[in-house]
Structure 1
Amino acid sequence: MRDLVFVHGRAQQHKDSMALKDEWISAWADGLKKNGLSVPLPHSQIHFPYYGDTLDQLVAGKSPEDAAKIVVRGVAPGAGGELSLEEKAFIEAVLLESVEHFEKDPEGAIQRALPPGAIIEKGVLNWGWVQAILEVLDKHVPSASGMSVALATRDVYQYLTNDVTRTVIDTGTASAIPENKEAVVVSHSLGTVVAYNVLRQNSQKQRWKVPLFVTLGSPLAVAVIKQKLAGIKPLGFPANVAAWFNAMDERDVVSLYPLDKENFPLTPAIDNNTDVHNGTSNAHGISGYLGDKVVAKRIYDAVIAEA
């Protein structure tokens, strides 16, 4: 029986990591029930690197020494922080790409969302313009707050541009992946960016064997995110990964595109499932992905396969 590693996404600060791990396992169990199956391995073989509070504190400007240490199970206080101009520009780029994904006339849609008679210059320094972008996004997924997308991209920005933050997060995440033993790695949202970077950066350094890498609700194909990743290291299929399965709900405002040859071309090709109907309020929640019948079975088959 192979081990399983879950890598969580953003906005997980101030949570009990053990309870969070149990939520993921419970969601997967729900998906397995739809297949007439149950969780096939003990919780001790399911690893859950928790970096929520650490990322929250590092984003707020704390030093690695002051920020909470990443542990497979642990909790620590978090903090807030102001956005820099560079962060705002990054956020606007992601938000605009989201609007372009949903709207044939994105600029027209944003202008129509502005108050009647308002003349507002484009750009991140104009909150009215940003609010209009968020309003357009909320029309497509009403319960998915556009601001949540903006906050998500802030976390991604800090991870992709701050070497110290990235090193701390990567080191903690890597510690949960067993060496000399096969392990299926399942990641969600920002966690897909972290897991992908950790796997590709350590492909020659760690003795990892990943028969299946799963990405759920992944923003990896968003242009500005892809560009930042390529700046760290050229994009490539992790050498320690045998197969990659990506699943998304087309209504998910974080996961805009499948990881296919047009949007995230790698060799070998990534297997994409775009038919997920995520039942969470914003079509992005982890329970909606792990609870999907096809996704749950794909993970199960990889875990029980003979090493």
Structure 2
Amino acid sequence: MTRHDVVMVHGVQNWMPGALPDEAAAALADGWSARLAAGYAAAGLGHVPPPRVHAAYYADLLNNAESQAPQDDDVDGLGPGEQALLLVWLRAAGLPPEPDDGQAWGTMPVRQALAWFASRRGIPSKVLARIAVALLPEVYTYLTSPKRRAAAREVVADAVRASGARVIVAHSLGSVVTYEALHAHELPGVELLVTLGSPLGLPGAVFDALEPAPAGGRGSRPPGLVRWVNIADPGDLVAVPRRLGDRFAVDSHHEAHIAAVDFHTMGSYLNCGLTATALAPYLS
């Protein structure tokens, strides 16, 4: 075991059809290593060797080759449960209980609510629709399929055990999988958890469905975890709410403008010197 290893856990849209899990994990790790090296340089840490990256790949567990996922920005192609989750997400991000005409959002097409929200946030509705179509199917599958959920958590636990890593970086949906894995499995000695663009606190959906269940409006801290750092781009529409410290015992919360367009991707967060600064003291 070495302190120079880090396990990274991906978010949505990382499925590699046709690739074996080990092959997909290796490909992700290679790409993230390059991004993290750029982040070290941006933080003025170019003289510090970046860590060895291990990827926990679980996307194959949440996707089926025979399933027909909606394409591009087709929010009407989402299933009923996914559309309900979309409305919950939009409300948490600022959608009012009802539009100006007094109707309930649930009585009209979800694309109408999405377009209303996008216009008031100054976001092209097609961009927001693409985010929704990319995000919601895998999140919904994870939250509603106990067997797949348990298997994804096992992947994270196995990656930590096999690598001996004491540092975990978890992005987007991966932060939910990792949080639950740290509760479900004995993983002693995890010194640092860095969550990036995390939806862990999303009320009415992710937060209320967590295992273990929150108590008194607070999620429990993973046992044995020494330090938890959360990083969110203020414009990241997936990290809702951004301040996880309001619902979890996060030790340090940071906000930074990660990127103008790709503000939610793992690569953009790793490129940011803020992420490297959080990791470097634990990976020397």
TM range (shorter): 0.7 to 0.9
Measure how far apart 1:174 and its partner are: 1.4
In the alignment, structure 1 residue 54 sits paired with structure 2 residue 61: yes
Counterpart Cα distance in 1 of 2:120 and 2:180: 28
Aligned residue runs from structure 1 range 1-307, under 5 A: 1-2=2-3, 3-14=5-16, 16-34=24-42, 35-37=44-46, 40=49, 43=52, 46-57=53-64, 79-81=67-69, 83-100=78-95, 107=98, 122-123=105-106, 126-133=109-116, 135-136=118-119, 139-140=122-123, 144-178=127-161, 181-202=164-185, 206-224=186-204, 225-229=206-210, 232=213, 235-262=219-246, 264-266=247-249, 269-274=250-255, 276-279=256-259, 281-304=261-284
Match of 2:20 in 1: none
Counterpart Cα distance in 1 of 2:107 and 2:137: 13
Are the counterparts in 1 of residues 166 and 191 from structure 2 also a CA contact under 8 Å? yes
Letter in 1 for 2:85: F
Are the counterparts in 1 of residues 258 and 268 from structure 2 also a CA contact under 8 Å? yes
Counterpart Cα distance in 2 of 1:127 and 1:8: 28
Are the counterparts in 2 of residues 14 and 78 from structure 1 also a CA contact under 8 Å? no
- Count of aligned pairs between the two proteins: 264
Classify 1:292/1:143 alpha carbon distance in 2 versus 1 (closer, same or farther; 3 Å): farther
* Counterpart secondary structure, 1:239: coil
Unaligned runs of 5+ in 1: 58-76, 113-118
Are the counterparts in 2 of residues 5 and 176 from structure 1 also a CA contact under 8 Å? yes
Are the counterparts in 1 of residues 199 and 239 from structure 2 also a CA contact under 8 Å? yes
- TM (norm. structure 1) is 0.75
Measure how far apart 1:51 and its partner are: 1.6
User: Greater shift after overlay, 241-250 or 295-304?
Assistant: 295-304
Letter in 2 for 1:247: I
Counterpart Cα distance in 2 of 1:83 and 1:7: 25
Unaligned runs of 5+ in 2: 18-23, 70-76
Are the counterparts in 1 of residues 192 and 227 from structure 2 also a CA contact under 8 Å? yes
Measure how far apart 1:22 and its partner are: 1.4
- TM (norm. structure 2) is 0.80
Letter in 1 for 2:172: S
Classify 1:290/1:6 alpha carbon distance in 2 versus 1 (closer, same or farther; 3 Å): same
Letter in 1 for 2:26: M
Classify 1:120/1:126 alpha carbon distance in 2 versus 1 (closer, same or farther; 3 Å): farther
Percent identity, please.
25
After superposition, the C-alpha distances for 1:198-223 in whole angstroms (9 at most, x for unaligned) are 01222xxx243111000000011111
Counterpart Cα distance in 2 of 1:221 and 1:26: 30
Measure how far apart 1:125 and its partner are: 5.8
RMSD of aligned residue pairs (Cα, Å): 3.0
Classify 1:160/1:233 alpha carbon distance in 2 versus 1 (closer, same or farther; 3 Å): farther
Match of 1:62 in 2: none
Letter in 2 for 1:302: Y
* Counterpart secondary structure, 2:160: coil
Counterpart Cα distance in 2 of 1:37 and 1:137: 41
Measure how far apart 1:242 and its partner are: 0.4
Are the counterparts in 1 of residues 230 and 252 from structure 2 also a CA contact under 8 Å? yes
Match of 2:74 in 1: none
* Counterpart secondary structure, 1:215: strand
Counterpart Cα distance in 2 of 1:161 and 1:126: 23
User: Greater shift after overlay, 134-143 or 84-93?
Assistant: 134-143
Measure how far apart 1:182 and its partner are: 4.9
Counterpart Cα distance in 2 of 1:53 and 1:137: 36
Match of 2:21 in 1: none
After superposition, the C-alpha distances for 1:40-83 in whole angstroms (9 at most, x for unaligned) are 3664xx221112222112xxxxxxxxxxxxxxxxxxx5743474
Counterpart Cα distance in 2 of 1:179 and 1:159: 24
* Counterpart secondary structure, 1:187: strand
